[in-house]
Structure 1
Amino acid sequence: MHSPKINCLPTLAKTIEKAKSLPLPAERKEVLQRLIDYIQRKVDAKEELNLNFICTHNSRRSQFSQIWAQTAADYFGIPANCFSGGVEVTAFNERAVDSIKRSGFRVSKKGEENPTYFLFHSDEAEPIVAFSKLFDDPINRGDRFATVMTCAHADENCPFIPGAEERIPVRYEDPKAFDDTPQEADRYDERSLQIASEMFYVFSKISSPL
């Protein structure tokens, strides 16, 4: 059993336990295996691990994925740099930000039009920096990374990602379909929790070299 390497904020710790307890269907385990294999190869080779999660607008699913992957990596003590990007710049959707806050992250905001958010999963850690950007934004790693495609549109309309060592599809349904409905908050939280569950599953499968 892996023991946590970070002291998560209290509400976030409860969300993580809930995410870890969710059953994972066999077909999703199959989808995630390529990502597990890539991470394990990098860890075994003692090479820097860089993951870039990509969705069209870099506003919901790719942001959730970056945040939860970085949190899971830190939780299990796997050195990783998790990024996100899109093929268009919009903003980190406020509904998704609210969901992340409900999960228990401490969040601060800088700017208005396309704000930069600083998210903390613990008192000791450096913040996870989140804002909408193109996949090749200078803040992201430009080479020796895996591209993780989180939506069908970006996967199909962005056939080549320069610098990527591997391209791995891990697609999620878009909670945007429930914007401005009574189900909005529940559906955003549901998608965030699904992504948390899967990222924690992925990193729980990684064996650190002795």
Structure 2
Amino acid sequence: MDVWLSWVLGFLPILGWLLWWWNDLWYAAPLIFRYSGTGTRLPPGHMGFPVFGEIISFLWYFKVLRRPDDFINSKRRKYGDGVGMYRTYLFGSPAIIACFPSINKFVFRSSDKFIQKWPSVELMGYTSLVAVHGKAHARVRSFVISAINRPGALRRITEMVQPRMVAALQSWAQKGQLKVYNEVKKVKSSKLIN
């Protein structure tokens, strides 16, 4: 009995440690070894348990506490604010959380290095901004930006959106308690009568 108990008590901590570090060993360790001599480093972070990763703590902050920023703030407190990027494992895949606007700007402008994929291209269209990559993406993005960033275009957009938002805010003030998701869907789908 003592031998069996010592095996169980000795094996369980090792198994727990291995499960706790599994995603880091599986995803991060090969990258660390591959780029060890180049001075390139992975962002700090912990990728959590296999399959789940950090989704439990993520959902805790988002759904239970209703303070989503605290998930990122916990990483900032743990790993320091100077990096601005943290590695994690969410929704079944490794991920990097970028906190600084300059990092996000670099990622969004480097479409050739960071390809974003949507679950269904048919949803947005094959020639939409989210479906094209490389030079085609840069061309479509420049068309959209030039159409939106002109003062006349911004004025027309504001004239269309402002009455809708004022009406929605007035109705929300009268309702008292409301479900934001349902109300935003109503505002988004309502038609303006000119």
What TM-score, normalized by structure 1, do the two folds share? Answer: 0.21
Higher RCO structure (Cα 8 Å, ≥6 apart): 1
Bigger-Rg structure (1/2): 2
Of Structure 1 and Structure 2, the greater helix share is in: 2
What TM-score, normalized by structure 2, do the two folds share? Answer: 0.22
Of Structure 1 and Structure 2, the greater strand share is in: 1
